[in-house]
Structure 1
Amino acid sequence: MTTVTLLTDDELSPAAKAVFDDIRATRNSDFVNNFWRALAHDPKTLKRTWESIKEVMAPGALDPKTKEMLYVAVSIAHGCAYCIHSHTAGARAKGMTDEEYAEMVAIVGMASETNRLVTALGVPTDEAFLVGSPEGSGAAKGRPD
């Protein structure tokens, strides 16, 4: 349940309207999702967040589908249902298959389990995994994964 009202286009300040216009232009869509409508109460946070997301999700070394899938994985780990749905839709729009989704979820589940085990056991980091180590600059040899 929302803790703020979701602003309609008619309720936007001029600063928030400018951000919405950029969202629409960047995405080539008239749709502005609820996250941005909630943030529109604070145009400075809205603008800063949009500019950051626009930069991080822009074309780069990682392809757009991979970026969306990473967003889904982090959202699963943090338990953000809205983010899971939003970025799953984005990843599917960029070509993610059901098989890729299932494999990603299995990886997230396994990573969550092994992260908790390592933390609970206080396992020290292997020297071979550290960047700049004499054992291969972090590239551990012979790992099964």
Structure 2
Amino acid sequence: MWDNVKQVMAPGALDPLTKELVYIAVSITNNCPYCIASHTASTPAKGMTDEQFAELRAVIGLANDTNRVAIGYGVLIDDRFQTR
């Protein structure tokens, strides 16, 4: 498992900070305190500011809220957004 973590989180098409932001977003959504703490702790060294972290939390909250509304109301996917 740890080899996979190292491989996926290594620099690639996504820079390390972007990968950490995605990881934090998923960890907050899944309510994993360990992952939230450990990945948040590593972000300042990768360039994340306090302002970016606050904005990240706002985006995560918004996405979770709008996802619940769309799921709750059974909103259908617009044809233009359908996965091809």
User: TM-score per shorter chain, which class?
Assistant: over 0.9
Paired with 1:121 and 1:131, the residues of 2 have a C-alpha distance of 21
Q: Does residue 111 of the first structure (1) align with residue 63 of the second (2)?
A: yes
Give the superposition deviation at 1:55: 1.3
Name the structure 2 match of 1:74.
26
Q: Could you list the runs of 5+ residues in structure 2 that have no partner in the other structure?
A: none
TM-score, normalising length: structure 2: 0.94
Give the superposition deviation at 1:131: 3.3
Give the superposition deviation at 1:54: 1.1
Matched residue type, 1:130: Q
- What is the percentage of aligned positions where both structures have the same residue? 55
Paired with 1:69 and 1:86, the residues of 2 have a C-alpha distance of 12
Regions of 4+ moved over 6 Å:
none
- What are the equivalent positions in structure 2 for 1:95-110 lying under 5 Å apart? 95-110=47-62
Return the structure number with greater helix share: 2
Aligned alpha-carbon RMSD (Å): 0.9
Matched residue type, 1:118: A
Structure of larger gyration radius: 1
TM-score, normalising length: structure 1: 0.56
Pick from 50, 60, 69: which aligns with 2:12? 60
Q: Could you list the runs of 5+ residues in structure 1 that have no partner in the other structure?
A: 1-48, 133-145
**Count of residue correspondences:** 84
